[in-house]
């Protein structure tokens, strides 16, 4: 029987499905293992159930020669060196689709919270500072009818575009590495623009671009300088996409109106300067965290692991491989 490692605590009933096929080592106390601890626990394991918190790079792979499959419970897989896995014939899988709508809901909510100053005004109320109604209290830009900008037009970007265009009467513009086919653009009523125009024209800019060296600090001081002083920025992509220090400074100086951040460079640590900025809404990487969606993500990762290690009804055909070419290697 193959051995597998479940690197973080996840739904027990879903992990139990792995026990029908494998000898499972799990992490019931949900410790965040150091790299040497992770390597130690991966010894002799054919498969790993990982989350975005575990870094699986070339060094880890070299130290864990039994590994055949790394199944990530996340759509993003920037924590895994896919090229190094492919070179070693290791299957990598992720959890796309099942989280699209939930993550888009959250991205939209975070954008609205930032734009309509919900965090800021709630803190004011809790501090007991609300003594009377006043006509310009927490005035903000509108969301409906405004221009929604989207950087990264994958499945989640398109789901956000649909919400903006169809639900809120927004004009949607987007920038992406590759332009969508005409029918896909028409379906979400989005217009392709270059990055500079996206920054200049967006009233509310939402980032949904995958993290890679190419998207590192895609939004830094020069990009923030192009945005309108009334604009908002929402990041539900990955921390490194935004230069958080530059953003904190732009917010403090009123160079943009507000921001909503669900992801941070070096999370769970935060750039401390963000904590002192009033016009930013901060959440702990929970965009996909509805009960149904987190269960669906865990379940898909388990299905992937079972199939990737040659078991179950889809033996050898994991549902959502990131490097499918490995599956056809002999
Ligand atoms: C993802 O799936 O990539 C989300 O960020 C949750 O980790």
Query: Which long-range contacts (C-beta less than 8 Å, at least 24 apart) are formed by 219-225?
Result: 219/151, 219/243, 219/247, 220/246, 221/246, 221/249, 221/250, 223/195, 223/199, 224/250, 224/255, 224/256, 225/250, 225/255
Number of the ligand 1 atom closest to the C-alpha atom of 74: 2
Phi, psi of 300, deg, nearest 5: -65, -40
- Residue 75 beta carbon below 6 angstroms from any ligand 1 atom: yes
Task: Record the tokens describing residue 4, joined without a space.
Answer: 């597998």
Let me know if 120 is a catalytic residue.
Answer: no
CA atoms within 13 A on the CB side of 90: 28
For ligand 1, pick from 8, 76, 157 the residue to mutate: most ligand atoms within 8 Å of CB: 76
**pLDDT for the residue numbered 225:** 98
User: At 123, which helix (H) or strand (E)?
Assistant: helix 118-126
- Residue 288 beta carbon below 6 angstroms from any ligand 1 atom: yes
List, in sequence order, every beta strand (DSSP E) within the chain.
Answer: 3-6, 23-25, 47-50, 69-72, 91-93, 147-151, 171-175, 190-192, 204-207, 232-235, 258-261, 280-282
- Residue 52 beta carbon below 6 angstroms from any ligand 1 atom: yes
pLDDT in tens, 99-122: 999 999 999 999 999 999 999 999
Let me know if 200 is a catalytic residue.
Answer: no
Let me know if 285 is a catalytic residue.
Answer: yes
Q: What integer is the mean pLDDT of 212-240? A: 97
Structural Rg of the chain based on CA atoms: 21
pLDDT in tens, 20-42: 999 999 999 999 999 999 999 99
Mean per-residue pLDDT of the chain: 97
Instruction: Name the DSSP letter for residue 241.
Output: G
> What gap in Å lies between CA 42 and CA 124, rounded to an integer?
48
Q: How confident is the model at residue 252 (pLDDT cuts 50, 70, 90)?
A: very high
- Whose C-alpha lies nearest to ligand 1, atom 4? 74
- Residue 300 beta carbon below 6 angstroms from any ligand 1 atom: no
**pLDDT for the residue numbered 329:** 77
Q: What integer is the mean pLDDT of 63-83? A: 98
- Residue 76 beta carbon below 6 angstroms from any ligand 1 atom: yes
Query: Are the CB atoms for 35 and 63 separated by under 8 Å?
Result: no
pLDDT at 4 over 80: yes
**pLDDT for the residue numbered 330:** 59
CA of 282 to the centre of ligand 1 (A): 16
pLDDT in tens, 264-309: 999 999 999 999 999 999 999 999 999 999 999 999 999 999 999 9
Query: Are the CB atoms for 241 and 195 separated by under 8 Å?
Result: no
> What gap in Å lies between CA 42 and CA 293, rounded to an integer?
27
Say if residue 268 is preceded by a cis peptide, omega within 30 of 0. yes
Phi, psi of 271, deg, nearest 5: -60, 115
CA of 11 to the centre of ligand 1 (A): 17
pLDDT in tens, 128-183: 999 999 999 999 999 999 999 999 999 999 999 999 999 999 999 999 999 999 99
Query: Are the CB atoms for 78 and 57 separated by under 8 Å?
Result: no
Which neighbouring-strand residues pair with 6? 49
Which of these is catalytic: 238, 269, 314, 317?
A: 238
- What's the pTM? 0.96
Angle of helix 118-126 relative to helix 100-115, nearest 10 degrees, comes to 60
């Amino acid at each position: 029987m193959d051995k597998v490692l479940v690197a973080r605590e996840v739904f027990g009933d879903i992990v139990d499905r792995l026990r029908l096929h494998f000898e499972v080592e799990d992490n019931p106390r949900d410790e965040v293992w150091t790299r040497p601890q992770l390597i130690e626990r991966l010894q002799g394991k054919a498969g790993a159930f990982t989350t975005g918190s575990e870094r699986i790079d070339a060094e880890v792979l070299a130290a864990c020669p039994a590994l055949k499959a790394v199944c990530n419970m996340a759509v993003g897989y920037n924590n895994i060196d896919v090229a190094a896995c492919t070179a070693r014939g290791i299957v990598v899988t992720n959890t796309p689709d099942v989280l699209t709508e939930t993550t888009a809901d959250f991205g939209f909510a975070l954008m609205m919270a930032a734009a309509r100053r919900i965090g800021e005004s709630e803190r004011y109320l809790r501090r007991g500072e609300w003594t009377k109604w006043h006509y310009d209290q927490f005035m903000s830009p509108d969301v409906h009818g405004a221009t929604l900008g989207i950087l990264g037009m994958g499945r989640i970007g398109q789901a956000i575009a649909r919400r903006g265009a169809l639900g809120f009467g927004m004009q949607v513009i987007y920038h992406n590495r590759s332009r969508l086919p005409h029918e896909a653009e028409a379906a979400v009523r989005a217009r392709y623009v270059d990055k500079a125009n996206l920054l200049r024209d967006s009233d509310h800019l939402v980032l949904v671009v995958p993290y890679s060296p190419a998207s590192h600090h895609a939004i830094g001081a020069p990009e923030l300088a192009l945005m309108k002083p009334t604009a908002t920025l929402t990041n539900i992509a990955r921390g490194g996409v935004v230069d958080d220090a530059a953003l904190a400074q732009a917010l403090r100086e009123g160079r943009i109106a507000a921001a909503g951040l669900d992801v941070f460079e070096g999370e769970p640590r935060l750039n401390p300067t963000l904590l002192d900025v009033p016009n930013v809404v901060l959440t702990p990487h929970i965009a996909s965290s509805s009960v149904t969606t987190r269960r669906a993500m865990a379940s898909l990762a388990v299905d992937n692991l079972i199939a990737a290690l040659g078991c179950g009804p889809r033996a050898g055909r994991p549902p959502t491989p990131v490097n499918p070419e490995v599956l056809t290697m002999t």
